[in-house]
Structure 1
Amino acid sequence: MKSDITIPPVLPANPASVRPGVAGAQEFKLLSPLNGLISPGQTAQAQVLSLKQGDASFQLLLNLTLEGGRQTNVQVSSLQPFALGTLLTVSPSSAGSLAINLQQGVSGTSAPLTRLDLQQLPVGTLLQGKVLGSYLLPQTAGQPAVYRSLVSVLNTAMSTRTLTLDSPQPLRVASLLSAQVEDAHTLSFVPLSGRQDQLALAQQLAAQQSRQGSLQGLLSALQKLPPGDNLSAPLRASIDTLLAGLPTAPQLSNPALLKSALLNSGAFLEANLLNGQPQSLNVDMKAALLRLIAQILPGTPANPNFSSGIAASTQAQAMPTFVRTALGMLGQISAKPQYGGFPLPQRTLHSSDGEDSLQTLLKLAAAALSRLQSHQLSSLEQSTRTADGNLLTTWQLEIPMRNAHDIVPLQVKFQREDPPEKDAQDSPEVRENKDPLWRVELAFDLTPLGPLHVQAQLIRGNLSGHLWAQRVFTAELITSQLGHLRQRLNDAGLTVTDLDCHQGTPPQGAQSPLEQRWVDETA
């Protein structure tokens, strides 16, 4: 359920009571007496234990550490909020007041934001935060209840800043939440179901990663099957059709054949079926693998490993009852594990002792199917909104192609980054900057060139590209041909801004520009 939260105006502090470099007033007003615990001229260390917002000030509970290690708690009021855990040095300044000094290195105590800067946080940006305090505002007869909360921002350029939010439901203190920017004064909660999907995706990717195997392993095994092997006629026909449909590298240079290979790679099978295109079952790679598995199964004994893999997949989709505990743990992970990524590593399965040929084919086909599903799940994981509000859509897939007598998997990833929708009031320069940005990555291993990786991006006809070859002589060969490649790209109507080749592998970084680890536990 979508619920809006608003950012109310915050009462400004008295300028005379605020000094640069110290977030908050110079003095706390004591709400409980010190009873001589600190003598004038002495200091004590204080830590903020709790925070509650009043009409014009904040009430804090401080834990004081006195000389000799003795500790006590005192209640004070402040014109500005201080995040839980903030460390301060305090000393008596006058009757009923404490002078404060914010210890160096502590952040997050700036005055709450009264509005969002849409230049830094465009509409659609996902904000993640932690609730520091929440209370019920005085109610007016006949009006719905409004709860005011202080939330510390955990991501984006506003990280460590605080927001004062009004919401129709209370936000539990110390809970984590996710919300999207609607406008300068409004956020909308991201439903818990979206975070459940995130967890289900992570679980599925972890399971697929352990089960998947290279398409090359299955296809090579199918090529090596002896003609007289005891296979059923339908199974043999399916194998022949699958191998005959593999394109060659020269064929993939034809735009029409390349488009067909991409669409039939298995990445779009479910989408085609939902759109009423059952004809894709005849040529789609994933459909062919499913058909192959269905034809192999009747001729094999019970396979516990394959059955347990199916059960694990079903369990991951069913969402276990402890989902809230697991979701809460996501917020405590310092770095999100990457199960997919690009390119997927080559993984070859070996037959076990006592397995017949059909059992081996079944294992290889199931592993190849898991590999295609890993590409699909990786595409979903990387499709998100960036920190600046752009919509990032990812398509990751794999095309097996013939290279002489070998089968070479060509891994492909497309990404389209769309800025927020154009506004009629935008200037021509702003509208131009809102054109989509395309990124393309290729990874393959051709004999005798060895492993190759290509990255390119295209915006408004301007193309930049980088190539990596692991073998030295291949990198030197490609470098010598870059001028010819640049000319062919220019002839195709593109403006090449940057084109180079490196020996080695591309630098590895985060696969997703936005870490979506935080959840709204109050939904």
Structure 2
Amino acid sequence: MKLPSSQQPPVPQGQKTVSPAPPTETMTQGRDPVALSARQQLEQLQLANRETTLARVAEVISRQGAAGSDILLDVRGKSLLVQAAIGRTELETGDWVKVLRAGNELQLMGKLAPAPEAGIARALAQRMPWQQDLQGGLTRLLTSLTQGLKPDALPGQPPSERTARPMPEAARQALQQVLSRLPPGTTIQPGTGAQDQTLQQMKQWISESGLFAESRLAQTPSASLPDLKLAIGRVITALLAQQGEGPEGFNRLTPLASPELVQAPLQFPQAMALTPPASADGEPTTVGQMLRLLAGMLNRITVNQLHSQVLTARAGGEAPAPVSTLLLELPWLTPQNEPRIAQVRIEQHSEEQRGQSSQHKAASEWRLALAMDLDEAGLMHFDVSLRHQSVSARVWAEKQTTLRQIHEELPLLRQSLTDLGLEVTDLECRRGSPEHPATRLEHRLVDTRV
């Protein structure tokens, strides 16, 4: 890959310009006799002569004793292994470069400055493998309120001396404050007469979900806010103080992770299977296990925050993307006082974003996706779209009995929406679950659009 010295890459305003390397340095395709020729590889990429494109550095492999490196480029979704002596142009995994085909070689036009969302994506990648399911975590926390916590084992200490102790009072108060604010399943009633109460309940529910903890602290710097994320932090502080440790001790813990979130960390919404209720006769959780559990729950909330930001930052890319995206996991309590989670995805699209005329004032289309796992009804998914005064909805249910009940309730739902002044364009219910597009960190979250 030849590196010209007279051309500079386009970089975002305020970013440092990357200096190109001398023109004598080259990067060429590997000489594996089995591999395709350089010309064939470039033609497979559908890259014409003198055409430029963007490539992402997927991997940098240093060659011992050599002046250059082997670099694996991701060009138009395909991998291309090249040999490079890149001199002063330092390339790292994840960098984006602009390249030009010159005959059977690639010329490096320069390295692009990192986009703002790159830092968010890196933080997201660090936390993704360590997410703890909030529903399971809240269930364990609720059990510990009654069972207490066992102290961590000391060297040579017999198990009989490690009896469960009540949760520290500060931790207990923080947990009880949040649990008392969780809406029970009977709080929200259908019908137009309870609209105002329902609206206020939903606003409170969303604001205290933990997703807006930092914003709420900036507006009201009080440690007593009934916020899920802040409450978890207060429980952590109390447990560390009981152990005689400061906040720095928390950073040394390895968070607990839920297997299903490790296998599909970015699929949202994706209703999880119901957590089996903890037995009152089961072994109490140790303080160390609880701290690791809380660390995983914090990571889950943080992943939802970062995921929302990066999906919003993708707006304006090649693929259709919403103007803004918000991912929420809202806890609530069943009549049996068991925690459950409702997964909510809210997207705002504009006419201009969707390729329509922008001469008039852009109108937004709001889309809501909701996933819940209910004791009797089973797994349910809802997709609702609202544009101007028109609304459409689609409901999926796993159980046939639930599907039949939904069919019976559709006329009431249509009438309720009409009473709100909305035009119902489509109402449908189906068996099973919707097929949401797979979300991948590499291509869907970290792609830099130029």
Q: Does structure 2 conserve the Cα–Cα contact (< 8 Å) formed by 1:221 and 1:361? A: no
Do residues 417 (structure 1) and 349 (structure 2) align? yes
Change (3 A) 1:193 1:495: closer
Corresponding residue number in structure 1 for 2:114: 191
Q: Report SS of the residue matched to 2:131.
A: helix
Change (3 A) 1:234 1:492: same
Q: Match for 2:301: what amino acid?
A: L
Deviation at 1:462, TM superposition (A): 2.2
Q: Report SS of the residue matched to 1:417.
A: strand
2-structure distance, mates of 1:62, 1:441: 46
Do residues 506 (structure 1) and 406 (structure 2) align? no
Change (3 A) 1:243 1:225: farther
Deviation at 1:217, TM superposition (A): 1.9
Q: How does 1:12-51 map onto structure 2 within 5 Å?
A: none
Change (3 A) 1:310 1:281: farther
2-structure distance, mates of 1:388, 1:434: 20
Deviation at 1:464, TM superposition (A): 2.1
Do residues 260 (structure 1) and 186 (structure 2) align? no
- The TM-score, its normalising length taken from structure 2, stands at 0.62
Do residues 398 (structure 1) and 329 (structure 2) align? yes
Structure 1 residue corresponding to 2:390, chosen from 462, 465, 471 = 462
Change (3 A) 1:212 1:230: closer
Corresponding residue number in structure 1 for 2:154: none
Change (3 A) 1:471 1:225: same
Q: Report SS of the residue matched to 1:467.
A: strand
Deviations 1:157-184 (A, max 9, x none): xx9xxxxxxxxx9899xx96378xxxxx
Structure 1 residue corresponding to 2:46, chosen from 87, 101, 108 = 108
Deviations 1:3-62 (A, max 9, x none): 637xxxxxxxxxxxxxxxxxxxxxxxxxxxxxxxxxxxxxxxxxxxxxxxxxxxxxxx99
Do residues 292 (structure 1) and 231 (structure 2) align? no
Change (3 A) 1:110 1:207: same
Corresponding residue number in structure 2 for 1:208: 131
Do residues 496 (structure 1) and 449 (structure 2) align? no
Corresponding residue number in structure 1 for 2:318: 387
Change (3 A) 1:152 1:410: closer
Deviation at 1:484, TM superposition (A): 1.5
Corresponding residue number in structure 2 for 1:485: 413
1-structure distance, mates of 2:284, 2:144: 16
Corresponding residue number in structure 1 for 2:305: 376
2-structure distance, mates of 1:376, 1:363: 20
Q: Match for 1:278: what amino acid?
A: P
Q: Match for 1:510: what amino acid?
A: A
Corresponding residue number in structure 2 for 1:515: 444
Q: Report SS of the residue matched to 2:379.
A: strand
Q: How does 1:117-128 map onto structure 2 within 5 Å?
A: 128=54
Deviations 1:340-388 (A, max 9, x none): 221353586989x986565554444344333322322332343222425
Q: Report SS of the residue matched to 2:183.
A: coil
Deviation at 1:229, TM superposition (A): 6.2
Deviations 1:381-418 (A, max 9, x none): 43222425755322112222122113222222212234
Q: Does structure 2 conserve the Cα–Cα contact (< 8 Å) formed by 1:419 and 1:436? A: yes
Q: Match for 1:507: what amino acid?
A: E
Q: Report SS of the residue matched to 1:515.
A: helix
Corresponding residue number in structure 2 for 1:407: 339
Deviation at 1:200, TM superposition (A): 3.1
Q: Does structure 2 conserve the Cα–Cα contact (< 8 Å) formed by 1:397 and 1:412? A: yes
Q: Does structure 1 conserve the Cα–Cα contact (< 8 Å) formed by 2:382 and 2:393? A: yes
Deviation at 1:292, TM superposition (A): 1.5
Structure 1 residue corresponding to 2:139, chosen from 187, 196, 217 = 217
Q: Does structure 2 conserve the Cα–Cα contact (< 8 Å) formed by 1:401 and 1:409? A: yes
Change (3 A) 1:360 1:388: closer
2-structure distance, mates of 1:292, 1:130: 42
Deviations 1:66-113 (A, max 9, x none): xxx9xxxxxxxxxxxxxx83349xxxxxxxxxxxxx9xx956245767
- The TM-score, its normalising length taken from structure 1, stands at 0.54
Corresponding residue number in structure 2 for 1:40: none
Change (3 A) 1:224 1:447: farther
1-structure distance, mates of 2:233, 2:40: 61
Deviation at 1:448, TM superposition (A): 1.2
In structure 2, stretches of 5+ residues that fail to align are: 1-7, 12-27, 58-72, 79-87, 99-109, 149-163, 190-197, 256-262
Aligned residues: 351
Deviations 1:218-268 (A, max 9, x none): 354156448x96344433333332221111234345101110110111000
Do residues 471 (structure 1) and 407 (structure 2) align? no
Q: Does structure 1 conserve the Cα–Cα contact (< 8 Å) formed by 2:170 and 2:234? A: no
In structure 1, stretches of 5+ residues that fail to align are: 6-60, 64-68, 70-83, 89-101, 115-126, 132-150, 160-168, 180-186, 314-336
Change (3 A) 1:252 1:309: farther
Name the % identity. 22
Q: Does structure 1 conserve the Cα–Cα contact (< 8 Å) formed by 2:273 and 2:373? A: no
Deviation at 1:296, TM superposition (A): 2.4
Q: Report SS of the residue matched to 1:509.
A: coil
Change (3 A) 1:281 1:343: farther
Change (3 A) 1:494 1:312: same
Deviation at 1:461, TM superposition (A): 2.5
Do residues 277 (structure 1) and 205 (structure 2) align? no
Q: Report SS of the residue matched to 2:418.
A: helix
Deviation at 1:463, TM superposition (A): 1.9
Change (3 A) 1:443 1:300: farther
Deviation at 1:485, TM superposition (A): 0.8
Structure 2 residue corresponding to 1:453, chosen from 358, 366, 381 = 381
Deviations 1:187-220 (A, max 9, x none): 99452664344233212212336x8763442354
Higher fraction of strand: 1
Corresponding residue number in structure 1 for 2:96: 177
Deviation at 1:473, TM superposition (A): 0.5
Q: Match for 2:199: what amino acid?
A: P
